[in-house]
Chains A and B, each alone.
Chain A
Amino acid sequence: MEEKVEKIIEIKELKVETKNKVILDGVDLNIFKNSVNTIVGPSGSGKSTLLRSLNRLLDMDPSMDVSGDVIFEKRNIVDIDPVELRREVGLVFQKPNPFPMSVYDNVAFGLRIQGKKLKKDEMDKMINQALEDADLIEELGGNLKQGGTSLSGGQQQRLCIARALVLRPKVLMFDEPTSALDPIAKGKIVDLIRALKQKYTVILVTHDMNLTRKVSDYTNLIYEGKFVAKGTGSEFFESEIEEVRDFLAEAD
């Protein structure tokens, strides 16, 4: 299966360390296009750090020492302007965190900071499309002026997804997107992630095995800064690797 699907990101020997701790210990991983690439693992295993190194958000933390290569569409990410890279590789955080402004302004944020002058109707169109893709437009009932922080938790999370989608990223990364949500809100995110992979490449970090079962095409288990298992979604759950069995037993 791996041969048929195109790789969009290749991680090679990626090492992230602070002065007194190795967080990622020279990991290799391929991210496949138009698939849900899931990274599971216990807390503190380096999952979130891995995501933050893919869009160079780690650059902002001077205590993190990063080495190795990440190739995004044949280009090493260190040769890409971080601002450009972050538009192409979007990130949705664990806790929904809309900016304290209207729904419209929240989604418009990423467009406005580009400094490009967009016509009003063009901007409206893009924002409506993003909210539709994030499955939020109907629930809002056309009222985009309401405050982003007044929405429910699940709606806030989908607003944050819309905010990333409006930039038309190629890759969308989710850092435990459902852990702060109730079961119904969770279900909507599950459906959404399934729909999104038609247009985007999804990288999903989670320790929710239920979510993984439902959406994952490729599942990778990280443990203490190293991948101990990689494979397709179904292979993963049948795996005989000891760490996988242990992790699944713990998670369920």
Chain B
Amino acid sequence: MTSSYTGNRQEIQWKNVGSRKLKDTIANGLSYVVLGMMVVILLSIFIYILDSGASHITLTMLITPGNTATGGILNAIVGTWELVGMGLLFSLPPSVLGALYVVNGRSNGTLSLVARLFTDVLTSVPSIVIGLFAFIVLVQRLDMGYSLIAGGLALAVMMLPYLMRIIEISFRNIPKEQIENAYALGADDISVASRIYLPQAKVGMLSGILLAVSIAAGETAQLLYSAGWNNNYATGFLHSGVGYLTYVVWNGINYPTTYSHYLAFVSAMILILSVTGMIAISKYIGRRQ
């Protein structure tokens, strides 16, 4: 290209090019090694489960209920989604409201801090402890019995901190000036929440929901104590145990028949595929935005 530029153009002197390039190569190499390790671990689990599951899956398994040793796993598939749905129902509204509260920062900060602290602690409470608590308080004291409601609440306790954190982050991604400007145009809190926060955080909220759902779908410990188990479908919201896939994995492997092992692997495969599917969907939606 010809240029009319006639200024004093100096050659830029780069320093230590050699050693910087070397450092770059080493860092890059390490990243690839770590990435490779993760891919190998993930792929081997994936292939093992898919191979063991897919080779033994039958239509009867998918369309009949069963007791983890005989019959199918339809009751567990249906029950898993019922429980997760119930958990979402209990955890989503408080997560959204909590995130709005923390983000809006209208309080003097102490309450937001306490809310944040509690959700953080909640993330690290072992699920068996949540299950035990649910058993004593919900199943026994409040006389819910092993049930959808008790199981849903136990899952909700675990989903809430994840949901709230991710929703909070997607709220924080909205430029502060935009929120301020909405108020300056005469919007009240409800309009700002419904017209600015919620529509703009849609994608973030959806990926939060999908993540929380995939975590909840893979939970076992707190459900053992709250949802119990059911060889058939739950007949109501209270006093009726619910089947779920992780129970089939856990119990099926312990049971000394080949068929029960097949049931366990098929359940594990369905879980892995649905979780992967959900994460893929959330990424796809995120990218399309």
Residues of A at the B interface (CB closer than 8 Å) are 55, 57, 60, 62-63, 83-84, 86-87, 90-91, 93, 95, 97, 99-100, 109-110, 112-114, 160, 163-164, 167
Q: With A93-B181, A97-B178, A97-B181 given, is the CB distance from A60 to B186 under 8 Å?
A: no
Contact with A along B107-120 (1 / 0, CB 8 A): 11100000000000
Specify which of A63, A95, A100, A163 is in contact with B185 (CB 8 Å cutoff).
Answer: A163
**What are 30 pairs between A and B in contact, CB < 8 Å?**
A55-B184, A57-B180, A57-B183, A62-B106, A62-B107, A62-B108, A62-B109, A83-B186, A83-B188, A86-B185, A90-B184, A91-B181, A91-B184, A93-B180, A93-B184, A95-B177, A97-B178, A97-B181, A99-B182, A109-B185, A109-B195, A110-B185, A110-B186, A113-B187, A113-B191, A113-B195, A114-B186, A164-B185, A167-B185, A167-B186
Specify which of A95, A99, A113 is in contact with B186 (CB 8 Å cutoff).
Answer: A113
B106: A residues at CB distance < 8 A = 60, 62
Kindly state whether residue B196 has any CB partner on chain A within 8 Å. yes
Q: Tell me whether A100 and B200 are in contact (CB under 8 A).
A: yes
A91: B residues at CB distance < 8 A = 181, 184
Question: How far apart are the CA atoms of A146 and B191 in the complex, in Å?
Answer: 23
Q: Tell me whether A97 and B185 are in contact (CB under 8 A).
A: no
Q: Tell me whether B186 and A97 are in contact (CB under 8 A).
A: no
Closest A residue to B200 by beta carbon equals A100
Question: How far apart are the CA atoms of A90 and B186 in the complex, in Å?
Answer: 9
Question: How far apart are the CA atoms of A91 and B182 in the complex, in Å?
Answer: 10
A164: B residues at CB distance < 8 A = 184-185
B191: A residues at CB distance < 8 A = 113
B183: A residues at CB distance < 8 A = 57, 60, 86
Question: How far apart are the CA atoms of A62 and B109 in the complex, in Å?
Answer: 9
Kindly state whether residue B7 has any CB partner on chain A within 8 Å. no
Closest B residue to A91 by beta carbon equals B184
Smallest beta-carbon distance B105→chain A, Å = 8
Q: Tell me whether A97 and B175 are in contact (CB under 8 A).
A: yes
Q: Which of B46-75 contact A (CB under 8 A)?
A: none
Contact with A along B172-210 (1 / 0, CB 8 A): 000101101111111110010001100010000000000
